[in-house]
Amino acid sequence: AQTVTQSQPEMSVQEAETVTLSCTYDTSESDYYLFWYKQPPSRQMILVIRQEAYKQQNATENRFSVNFQKAAKSFSLKISDSQLGDAAMYFCAYRYWRTNFNKFYFGSGTKLNVKP
């Protein structure tokens, strides 16, 4: 079974500053997807960013970027210019590449607090 590990249960960042959330995973596959999802208090899970393992270039989405280290099986999320609305639970997730195997594996989550 695949495992996804988030070692930081909770983190805090000052508004406008940068924070990095860590994620490691275990897999024997060479092709897969990685995701970061955000879950605010409203409970609605929202995709923040995704990365295909075959792509060497790190994904970016506005203030969100990842540091994908395939050999180290590491997938960290960097949030720049943090905003109050970034406060949420963040889940790292893994999915197989195979189209007939769509199960997602989620980490335990990191609660991000943003201080004004």
Partner 1 sequence: SAVISQKPSRDICQRGTSLTIQCQVDSQVTMMFWYRQQPGQSLTLIATANQGSEATYESGFVIDKFPISRPNLTFSTLTVSNMSPEDSSIYLCSAIGQGEAFFGQGTRLTVV
Q: Which residues of this protein are in contact with partner 1, per CB under 8 A?
A: 33, 35, 37, 42-45, 47, 50, 89, 91, 93, 95, 102-104, 106-109, 111
In the DSSP assignment, the letter for residue 53 is: T
Least gap, CB of 22 to partner 1 (angstroms): 15
Give the residue with the Cβ less far from partner 1, 33 or 65: 33
User: How big is the CA angle at 22 (ends 61 and 107), to the nearest 5 degrees?
Assistant: 95
Least Å distance between CB 106 and partner 1? 5
Minimum distance of partner 1 from residue 71's CB (angstroms): 23
Q: How far is CA 64 from the centre of its chain?
A: 10
109: DSSP letter: -
* C-beta of 18 vs 113, nearer to partner 1: 113
Q: What are phi and psi of 96, to 5 degrees?
A: -60, 155
